[in-house]
Structures are given as structure tokens and as C-alpha cells.
A and B are shown apart, each in its own frame.
Chain A
Amino acid sequence: MEHIKELLYKMADDLLILGHRNSEWTGLGPILEEDIAFSSMAQDKIGHAQALFQILFELGEAEPDTNAFMREAKQFHNSQLVELPNDDYDFSSVRHFLFDHADQIRFNMLSESSFEPLAKVARKIKGEIKYHVFHADIWLVKLGNGTEESKARMQSAINMAWNYALGIFEEGDYELQLQSENIFAGEKELQKRWLDAITPIIEKANLKIPAESEWNPILGGRKGYHTEYLDQLVNEMSEVFRIEPNTEW
């Protein structure tokens, strides 16, 4: 079961941390309707994380709430991309684009998984992720084709986020086992499909992917190596729960 748990933890942590970061825009978004949409999607992400924590619980791990709010930063397995602080909306929007495409493809791959509980979750949330990607694509294309300023900002956000985004595909310890048991086809395959999916849209947005010779994946998140931003996030996120961990909510 270790191979499945590793996969579930990294997915759940990515979704929980990103959901939290995206929720930080609530009330501060650029346009009312966009603020509502972005916050709603952040809720969705946390819901997806919860579904995965529930599977982990059924596999013998801690209860979802305890798992989410009682771990220290170095015990998290999210990619470093999702813990980075929200800078301007251009960064958050580009992160949303890069991550959600990978997320959608990952869940699509998992909807055929031999591990039924995960396949079931993947099939259930398909529609939600479809909207998230639809949303990300529209904004990227609109802003990439907008004014000089919007184009420059989006490009520099892509350049800044790129190496962090490659960290999503950091391979785990059980890649071969997950593949041989038909649970998950692996990070390499995911990255390949991700590139195929995002390239035409980035082109449509009149933007560029950094040259492959300059790619330098920022790894370590999956093994618990994080930036100081995750400490700050975990403290804030867990603060209320930790005051009284055994309360009935």
C-alpha cells in the first residue's frame, strides 16, 4: 500500500496547499465575478483534497482533519509550486493554468486506475476540473492577447513559474510499481501529456514556453523539502484547528 499512499499524499497535499493559497484571494480579486469564481474553485480544490484524505484514512492513515492540520511543513509532500505566496494576479493565474492542466490529466489517467477508490473519485470530480481548466485557459488567452502590459506580465509569470511547475512531476519511489500494477502510468507520461496539452493554448495566448535547454526542475517538495513560505502557510492554515484539536465542529 505504500506506493498508493505516496501517490495519494502528494496529490492531496498539492490540492490542499494550492486550495489554501487560492482562497487567499477571496475579497481581494480583481473583479467581483472573478473573485467569486476563483474562491469557488479554491473550495473545490480543498474538497478534492478531502476526498483523497478520506481514502488515506481508509488505508489506515490519520483522520482527514488531523492529517491536514496537525502535520509540520516538512511532513508535507506538495510540490514547491503550490506553496509559493500569491504575488500579483498574473502569477496566481498562471500557476492556476499550469497546475490545473496537470491535475486534470492526472485525474483523467487515474479514472482508469486499477485502484478503484481513486478511480471513483477521479470520475466524480471530472466536471469540476473541466471548469477549472476552461477558466484558466480563457484568462491566459485573454491576458496574453491583451495589452502590452498584460502580455509582459503573463510572460514573466510563466518564466518565473516554469521550473517550479516542472517540480510537479518529481518522480516518487514507486513509479515502476504503480505502472506495473496499472494504478498510475507515471510522472514522465504525465509531464509529456501536460506539455502536449498546454503548448497550443500558450501559443494561442501569444506567449512562449521557456527554451528546453533552460529547464531546471525545482525538486524536493515531494520529499519534504520546502521553502519558508510553507511554514507560514501551515501555521496560518492550522491555527484554528490546533487551538482545540479534539473539538466537535
Chain B
Amino acid sequence: MIQSLDPRIAREKINEENNIAPLTEMDNWETYEVFHQKKRGDQHIHVGIVHAPNPEMAFLFGKEQYGRRGISVNMWVVKTSNVFASDYDDSDIFDTVPEKQYREAGGYKVMSKINKYKKENTL
């Protein structure tokens, strides 16, 4: 057992020879994906996962894991098993997208037109 001068460690009576044992069913709860929203009306952003036995506790933990720093006004929790993801092998369907610049809205050079107008009309 670990003999520590720190009573909080000593009283735990931790066994140093940690035998590797198979996980029992209770050892790992399901994971939940956590999303938080910074401002009402914003998109919810994925921030990570928590292990929890049900949505109520997932929310309880998520608030402290991911809502401790910075502002959040809202939080979603979704079971990881309810998230459907595409296969990485299929990522080639996205390969030629960067070449298709005509799909970007960058063709509308609004700011430069506004600045040009401002310049012309304040002279």
C-alpha cells in the first residue's frame, strides 16, 4: 500500500501492485457528446464527451467539464450511440470540393464596393 505523508492519499489505502483486471460492466458508463451554445441564437458547438449513466447526469457533468470557462447559455447532450458518422474510407467524396470556387460567395465583393462608394461620396 502507498504510504504517503499526505493523509488524504494515505487513507485511500491504494494498492501499489495494480493488477490489470478486465472491465466489469459497471466500470464504464455510456458516453454522451456535449455541445454548448455561447449566445442565444448561435449554433451549438461540439466541445467533447462525458461518461454518464443517463441524460440528466450527462448534463450535470457537462456543465462542469465544458461550462467552467467562458460563457455558455445552453447545453445539449446526445448519446454517442445516437450519432451517425460517415466512413473515413469515403472521404474521397469531398476531394474535389476545394477546386469548385464558383460555389463560394467570395465572388460577391461587397466590402470593396462599399468602400469605393464611401470614398467617392465623402470627397
- Interface positions of A (Cβ within 8 A of B): 24, 28, 31-34, 36-37, 40-41, 131, 134-135, 138, 142
Instruction: Tell me the smallest distance from the CB of B56 to a CB of chain A, in Å.
Output: 6
Question: Is A138 touching B56 in the complex (CB atoms < 8 A)?
Answer: yes
When distances are taken between beta carbons in the complex, the residues of chain A under 8 Å from B63 are: 37, 131
Partner of A40 from B12, B57, B64 at Cβ < 8 Å? B64
B76 within 8 A of A: no
Q: Determine the residue in chain A with the shortest Cβ distance to B52.
A: A33
Q: A-side binding surface: helix, strand, loop or mixed?
A: helix
Q: How far is the CA of A183 from the CA of B52 in the complex (A)?
A: 42
Instruction: Tell me the smallest distance from the CB of A244 to a CB of chain B, in Å.
Output: 23
Question: Is A28 touching B56 in the complex (CB atoms < 8 A)?
Answer: no
- Interface positions of B (Cβ within 8 A of A): 8-9, 12, 50-52, 56-57, 60-61, 63-65, 68
Q: How far is the CA of A101 from the CA of B65 in the complex (A)?
A: 23
Partner of B61 from A28, A34, A41 at Cβ < 8 Å? A34
Most-contacted residue by chain B among A33, A34, A41 (CB, 10 A): A33
Q: Determine the residue in chain B with the shortest Cβ distance to A35.
A: B64
Instruction: Tell me the smallest distance from the CB of B84 to a CB of chain A, in Å.
Output: 25
Question: Is B8 touching A37 in the complex (CB atoms < 8 A)?
Answer: no
Q: Determine the residue in chain B with the shortest Cβ distance to A27.
A: B8
When distances are taken between beta carbons in the complex, the residues of chain A under 8 Å from B12 are: 28
When distances are taken between beta carbons in the complex, the residues of chain A under 8 Å from B9 are: 28
The 3 A-B pairs with the shortest beta carbon distances in the complex, nearest first, are: A33-B61, A37-B64, A40-B64
Instruction: Tell me the smallest distance from the CB of A132 to a CB of chain B, in Å.
Output: 11
Q: How far is the CA of A135 from the CA of B64 in the complex (A)?
A: 11
When distances are taken between beta carbons in the complex, the residues of chain B under 8 Å from A134 are: 60
Q: Determine the residue in chain B with the shortest Cβ distance to A134.
A: B60
**12 pairs from A and B in contact (CB 8 Å cutoff):** A28-B8, A28-B12, A33-B64, A37-B61, A37-B65, A40-B64, A131-B63, A134-B60, A135-B60, A138-B56, A138-B60, A142-B57
When distances are taken between beta carbons in the complex, the residues of chain B under 8 Å from A34 are: 61
- Given A24-B8, A134-B60, A33 and B50 contact (CB-CB distance below 8 Å): yes
Q: How far is the CA of A173 from the CA of B91 in the complex (A)?
A: 73
Instruction: Tell me the smallest distance from the CB of B57 to a CB of chain A, in Å.
Output: 6
Most-contacted residue by chain A among B12, B50, B64 (CB, 10 A): B64
Instruction: Tell me the smallest distance from the CB of A210 to a CB of chain B, in Å.
Output: 28
Q: How far is the CA of A147 from the CA of B68 in the complex (A)?
A: 32
Q: How far is the CA of A32 from the CA of B57 in the complex (A)?
A: 13
Q: How far is the CA of A36 from the CA of B48 in the complex (A)?
A: 15
